[in-house]
Amino acid sequence: MIQRKQSIFLFLAALLNAGVFYFAFYKMHTVVNGVDTLGQVDVNNHYPSLLNAVVITILPLITIFMFGNRKRQYAMTFVSFCGVVCFIAMMLARVNGLGKAIPPPTSGSYWIGAVLPVMSLVFLFLAILGIRKDDKLVKSMDRLR
């Protein structure tokens, strides 16, 4: 059912994933012609990470309405989990590649957008546990009949 706790976890994961569109992943300072400029790494200026961010935002929302088929809901939640892990890996690879950029950044720090996907992983994991618990409950009720 939609009012189950895993639906809330999936919705929260989708909201956190949507937050990566508004918050930067990494903010850095670079010196260009003697002027210190502030740059940022976010999903809006990189097409593959933008596409991945759209997928990891929409997938949990679609998964909420698959409550009739728990196996498919479990599989879609697991795919969402893997997508968020790939998103984090892609963004970390972009940040690590900044050292080769011209001009290289002088300093930088991770921003709110780096924490949101990690929190989303926690909620997706809790949703997976909730789906498994519901599946076990239904199987145990079938045995009693």
Note the CATH number of domain 5-144.
1.20.140
Domain locations in the chain?
Answer: 5-144
The pTM score is 0.87
pLDDT for 58 equals 96
pLDDT per position as a tens digit, 40-55: 888 988 899 999 999 9
Distance CA 103, CA 59 (A): 37
Band the pLDDT of 98: cuts 50, 70, 90.
confident
- How confident is the model over 97-115, as a mean pLDDT? 80
110: β partners: 26
Q: Is the pLDDT of residue 145 over 70?
A: no
- Identity of the residue numbered 126: L
Q: Give the angle subtended at the CA of 35 by the CAs of 21 and 103, to the nearest 5°.
A: 65
The distance of Cα 110 from the centroid of its chain, to the nearest Å, equals 16
